[in-house]
Amino acid sequence: MSLERIKELTKLLNQYGYEYYVLDNPTISDQEYDRLMQELMALEEKYPEYLSPSSPTQRVGGVVLDAFKKITHTKSMLSLGNVFSKEELINFDQRIQESLQKPVEYACELKIDGLAVSLVYKLGELDYGATRGDGTTGEDITHNVKTVKSIPLTIPYKGDLEVRGEIFMPKKSFNELNELRKKDGVELFANPRNAAAGSVRQLDSAIAAQRKLDAFLYMVPDALDYDCITHYDSLQWIASLGFKTNPHTRVCQTIEEVWAYIEEYSAKRSELPYEIDGIVIKVNDIELQNQLGYTVKVPKWATAYKFPAEEVITKLKDIVFTVGRTGQITPNAVLEPVRVAGSLVQRASLHNEDNVVSKDIRIGDYVVVRKAGDVIPEVVRPVIERRDGSEKKFEMTKVCPKCGEPVSREEDQAAYFCHNPHCDSKKIEKIIHFVSRDAMNIDGLGEKIVEQFYNQGFIKNIEEIYYLKNHVNEIIELDGFGQKSMDNLIEAIEKSKQNSLEKLLFGLGIRGVGAKMAEVLAARFKTMEALMEAKYVELININDVGETICEAILDYFREDENKALIRQLKELGLNMTYLKETNFRDDTPFSNKTVVVTGTLEKYNRNEIKELLKQLGANVTNSISKKTDYLVCGKDAGSKLEKAEKIGVQVITEEEFERMVSE
């Protein structure tokens, strides 16, 4: 009887929660809901053997982690490209129509200002939730995801499913939270996005539970696998499973309709109960999305229109210079503190001499400041009518602000550079870049610690990071460092030796080689040695490698100092190989074959069989075409099976697949 009552209460409370948090249409009073919840909690305490992970009592928090686990996404969580005007939006539409040679319809949705999340369900239950991270690897935040009451813990679909969306803090929750923090004398959150991100990354889920977070789900990776023909179809499908989707999403037939939608919600932005920072525009037809494909960084079939940045006026008190890892000298505005788009701004990059001179920005000016893309502070222009004659004209520094050596402007470039190889600032910035998240990702070596270790002589260059274990006894004598923190740091340093080649390649700081370009180069050449020996013609023929980047790569590997660094890192045990394809084979029945998977399999989930096929040398795609060689088919197959049979694609069962693999 107790088990039956627990099941009954669980079902009732999950339904009532769905009605309240997703449909915004409660059917019982708060008092009645609380009474049923108390009854369920009492029964679960009395009969703990009946406690289910999907019980609504598991949303109250209380799980405390020591640290976040890393999770590798099965499919990269890419960022979007941006447009900032109607003209740029029309250009986006023209590129798509020229590529497809046909008009398309767009799904338009509000760009929620929160934290991207991936939710993975297995057998109908939430398996884990993860942050976007660097797009390839995120952090496991399942304990906090469970506290978001609009995210279902169970769904009626019993196969594997990944859904992506945005966790955010409603304006009401944000205001209530800051009121509490004000009373407690704690620093206020700058904006709802920062508050949401800080809440989701709490090790103690009880804190996240108190913050009243919410979520909209807006994407199903591999939606075609679930017979969703359009993006809008996929949203309707996940809504039917109990996920909260944004009710303002709209399908537009033309780019003019898209612009009308943008104008409508630009006006309505302040009325919404949550923050948005733009509009996302996606090609609605998923087959067409696949045809358009991706650049190195972003999908070609989607973009985000970003709202014009909020502009404020403040005083520019000084212009100071900083030195980057490549030696580039950057002028920076020191501002009277001012709040811009929800956060306090005290400094802003002025980029280079040409920018300052062309805008005639002077020390002492009142200037217009905004956040480019609502993120990076920038000085837009001086307020000339407020000048009183005390302002000082800008002069570019002639020497490095750190080492005092002369700086020079390179031909065809706007920037000045310090060429002193012994400049401390350059060395510190190179080390900071090397250990950063997108590079070697060494937890515990933040910017301030790197600078402290450099100044105290523990790390003077990149290779000395891997000798830091020899200084543990000296470091733990310093304030703020204990044995446990050093053990964790040394473990992170040793772990970084196993990183795939693209992480190391990005960490080296070759001019023009960002994280995505490093991935492209590593995937193409597979080993550091092969890349070091690459010729100009090999590099220039790679997509997205232009002449400037090509010359920068060749120049880097010509330098004896750089070759010596790589040789030393190899001797220290750092991996010099691209690891993501090392197990791929070219001698199987699936080598160089195009394969599609559909239906429910007994021995594999969808991601497992796709990964196995890739290791067997197959090109795994989501849609059937005349180029498809095999359709691996499980139970309850739908339209893909019909299409495969119609156009003559060879269909193989799970048993036939295993036999082919074993043979």
**How do residues 48-101 score in pLDDT, each as one tens digit?**
877 777 777 776 555 555 677 889 898 888 888 888 889 889 999 999 999 999
Helix axes 30-46, 2-21, angle to 10 degrees: 140
Question: For 311-409, which CATH superfamily applies?
Answer: Nucleic acid-binding proteins (2.40.50.140)
CB-based contact 335:315 (threshold 8 Å): yes
pLDDT reported for residue 582? 44
594: confidence class by pLDDT, cuts 50, 70, 90: confident
Is residue 331 within 8 A of residue 321, CB to CB? The reply is yes
The pTM (predicted TM-score) of the whole model is: 0.57
What b/e string do you get for 165-188 counting C-beta neighbours within 10 Å, with b at 16 or more? bbbbbbeebbeebbeeeeeeeeee
HSE of 459, CA atoms in CB hemisphere, 13 A: 28
Give the tokens for residue 439.
């590079």
Q: What is the mean pLDDT of residues 135-139?
A: 86
Cα distance between residue 364 and residue 275, in whole Å:
34
Q: Across all residues in the chain, what is the average pLDDT?
A: 86
**CATH code 1.10.287.610 region(s) in the chain:** 2-60
Closest CA to 370 of 320, 306, 418: 306
Q: Which residues are catalytic?
A: 111
- Intervals of CATH 1.10.150.20 along the chain: 424-496, 501-571
Tell me the residue type at 459.
I
Q: Is 370 exposed, middle or buried (0-12, 13-18, 19+ CB in 10 A)?
A: buried
Confidence of residue 610 (pLDDT cuts 50, 70, 90): confident
Which pLDDT tens digit goes with each residue over 385-411?
999 999 999 999 999 988 888 988 877
Q: Pick left, alpha or beta for residue 132 (phi over 0 → left; psi -120 to 50 → alpha; otherwise beta).
A: alpha
How far apart (Å, rounded) are the C-alpha atoms in residues 181 and 188? 6
Confidence of residue 22 (pLDDT cuts 50, 70, 90): low
Range list of H helices, 399-558: 424-435, 447-455, 472-475, 483-496, 501-507, 515-525, 528-532, 536-540, 547-558
Is residue 571 scored above 60 in pLDDT? Answer: yes
Residue 259: band (very low, low, confident or very high) from pLDDT cuts 50, 70, 90 = very high
Residue scoring higher pLDDT (376 or 103): 103
Q: Tell me which range, 349-358, 366-375, 599-608, is most confidently predicted by mean pLDDT.
A: 349-358
> What pLDDT, on a 0 to 100 scale, did the predictor assign at position 169?
93
Q: 424-496 maps to which CATH number? A: 1.10.150.20
Convert the pLDDT of each residue in 525-542 to its tens digit.
Answer: 889 999 999 888 888 877
Which one, of 528, 514, 515, 530, lies nearest residue 567 by Cα?
Answer: 528
At 584, the pLDDT band (50, 70, 90 cuts) reads: low
The pLDDT tens digits for 505-526 are: 999 999 888 887 888 898 888 8
Give the pair of three-digit tokens for residue 612: 């196995």
Q: Any idea which architecture 501-571 has in CATH?
A: Orthogonal Bundle (1.10)
- Is the pLDDT at 628 greater than 80? The verdict is yes
Please name the amino acid found at residue 183.
K
Count of beta carbons in the 10 Å neighbourhood of residue 372: 15
Closest CA to 17 of 238, 241, 242: 242
Residue 219 has pLDDT above 80, yes or no: yes
| DSSP percent split of the chain into helix, strand, coil, nearest 5 | 40, 20, 40
Closest by CA to 276, choosing from 156, 363, 192, is 192
Decide which of 1.10.3720.10, 3.40.50.720, 1.10.150.530, 1.10.287.610 is the CATH code for 2-60: 1.10.287.610
Ranges of CATH 3.40.50.10190 domains, the chain: 594-662
- Answer with the residue of higher pLDDT: 54 or 282: 282
The class that CATH gives domain 594-662 is alpha beta
Reported as a pLDDT band with limits 50, 70 and 90, residue 16 is confident
Rounded Cα–Cα distance for residues 405 and 401 (Å): 8
Give the contacts of 140 (CB within 8 A, at least 6 positions apart).
68, 69, 70, 71, 128, 129, 130
pLDDT at position 585:
58
Of the two residues 46 and 663, the one the predictor is more confident about is: 46
Report pLDDT digits (tens) over 27-55: 777 667 767 877 887 888 777 877 777 77
Q: Look up the CATH superfamily of 82-302.
A: DNA ligase/mRNA capping enzyme (3.30.470.30)
